[in-house]
Amino acid sequence: MSDPIPVTCPTIGLHDAFIATIEAYPLNRAELAEKAGVSDSLLSRFLRRQTDISLAKLQRLLEHLPDEAQQHFWQLVSPASQTEQLSLQKTTLMHSLRQYLQQCSLQDFQEFLGVIVKARETVLKN
């Protein structure tokens, strides 16, 4: 007989995690509902704990949240080690940084590079 596969249980339910995420990242709920193809009234009732929604609808709502909000949600439902959390934070930061650098002005880009150079000089001096 093989060893049992360890199972980790969520630290918080999906419903509670979604509500906590929406509270932590205030969004235009009507816009979120529209993008996800969910009625605004259904989303409102779900957030007030007056109804449940299907996993498919929850998934569509999650897909239309900002990356940081999605990360927050998954951290709530997935107990992860500190190393895993740091790795996830790094991934999210790098994604956000790439997006910012692709959209920022040349002046902002140059200022950002200056900050990196100064930070690296400080590290090398120590």
Question: How much is the pTM?
Answer: 0.55
Phi, psi of 7 (to 5 degrees): -115, 130
pLDDT of amino acid 82: 62
Q: Could you give the dihedral angle defined by the CA atoms of residues 73, 74, 76 and 78, in that order, rounded to the nearest 10 degrees?
A: 170
pLDDT band of 75, cuts 50, 70, 90: confident
CATH topology of domain 7-79: 434 Repressor (Amino-terminal Domain) (1.10.260)
3-state secondary structure of 31: helix
pLDDT band of 84, cuts 50, 70, 90: low
